Amino acid sequence: MRIKTTLLVAVLLISLSPSSVNGSADQSATKKYTVTMKKAHLPTAPNNGTDDYRCFLLDPKVNEDSVIRTIQFIPQRKNFVHHAIIFRVTDADIPQAVGADKNGTGWPCFGGSGLGNMLSSFVSTPWISSWAPGRGKDISPAGYGTPFKKGERFVLQVHYNLLAANGGKIQTDQSKIVMEAVPAKGTKVKQLHVELFPAPVELACPANMTGPLCDRKQSLIDLASRTSKMSAFESAGINILCGQDPFKPVPSLTSRCDKVITSNFTIIAAAAHMHLLGRTLSLTLNPGTASEKMILDVKNYNFDDQSGTVLKTPVKVQAGDTIRVTCTFDPTIRQKLPELKNLPPRYITWGEGSSDEMCLGVISATK
């Protein structure tokens, strides 16, 4: 259960919501909230790593129960901010968050917000939005939004990719969040929730590449050292969730996982998330059956444009259905990209660092 819960909050990742127009919410009632990191942060990576995951507690000072219509993360240092995730902190986790934040300095948070416990964190500090290169304002589909109660706060997780710093120079960052919301009382806006679909990543070194980290065990030890110990367990956990042997996985350029759905919902939008070696990603409902339906088909993945796609026709999903995520990768790209080509060859698994990989489909749905 710990692996599964950590996986749910460890991403990602991505923005699901398209740049559509607010349809049913009253524009005149919309309020704008802007909140900036209390203190500037100088990113540093642990154990000679190249990635810094840092969480910060931000208070937008919302004084009434509301529904978020738009939200935007605005990075001060676009060149080395790899991605950001915005979590909503409920009353259950606010005291812990205040203590961890230490009046604005934040806390290290590989794998999620770092709040709550292994069973509760995704409920008490849910993920509500994210930013990646190419994204702007995260606008909910017309008629939909995310709840935000009076007095709740944000945890902003920022992933700093030190490999991408201009000329290797690391500067302090003091990014901000801008949110637009309408009062919950009287609104007809429907609430959205997120469903995640991960698949294992097992990429062996290309035939012409050798080195100590081409050994999977050594690569996982290195992953734990430069990110967190939980990262190595996540890799094994995803293999288990997807019915693969975590101790003897088969390397492949294609990642795939089937997830049996346990509740009814309707898919409104979908998005793909991989890192720099990803080529394609698809989400398929009930593959290989008469009711098979393509939810999302990204044929030329571009890390610099991870915008979500609103489905032309919402897709209804019922308990017992299966959704399959499939990704393809090209490890030879690693030898060509400026950010990666000077790094030693390695066996690549699921991991949160810029030089690791992910295969993650994300949907935005309503009940």
Region 358-366 average pLDDT? 90
Beta-carbon contacts of residue 241 (< 8 Å; ≥ 6 apart): 3, 4, 7, 198, 257
pLDDT, position 111: 59
Is the Cα dihedral 87, 90, 96, 98 positive or negative? positive
Do the strands 144-148 and 190-191 form a parallel or antiparallel pair, or are they unpaired?
parallel
42 vs 79, higher pLDDT: 42
pLDDT, position 48: 67
The yes/no answer on whether domain 193-366 falls in CATH 2.60.120 is: yes
The answer on pLDDT for 119 being more than 60 is no
The answer on pLDDT for 209 being more than 60 is yes
Note whether 55 and 155 are within 8 A (CB).
yes
pTM of the model as a whole: 0.73
pLDDT, position 329: 98
Domain edges within the chain: 2-190, 193-366
Q: How confident is the model at residue 110 (pLDDT cuts 50, 70, 90)?
A: low
Note whether 142 and 25 are within 8 A (CB).
no
Tell which residue, 279, 277, 255, 258, has the closest CA to residue 200. Answer: 255
Q: What residue has token string 């960052």?
A: 173
Q: Provide the mean pLDDT of the chain.
A: 85
193-366 shares the fold of 2-190: yes
Tell which residue, 346, 334, 362, has the closest CA to residue 276. Answer: 334
Tell which residue, 61, 129, 124, has the closest CA to residue 96. Answer: 124
pLDDT, position 23: 40
pLDDT, position 17: 39
How many percent of the chain have pLDDT more than 70? Answer: 89
Helix then strand then coil, in percent of the chain rounded to 5, is 15, 35, 45
Task: Return the bridge partners of 294, or none.
Answer: 284
pLDDT, position 26: 53
Region 152-168 average pLDDT? 85
The yes/no answer on whether domain 2-190 falls in CATH 2.60.120.310 is: yes
pLDDT in tens, 8-54: 333 333 334 333 333 444 556 899 999 999 999 999 887 767 888 89
The answer on pLDDT for 177 being more than 50 is yes
The answer on pLDDT for 168 being more than 60 is yes
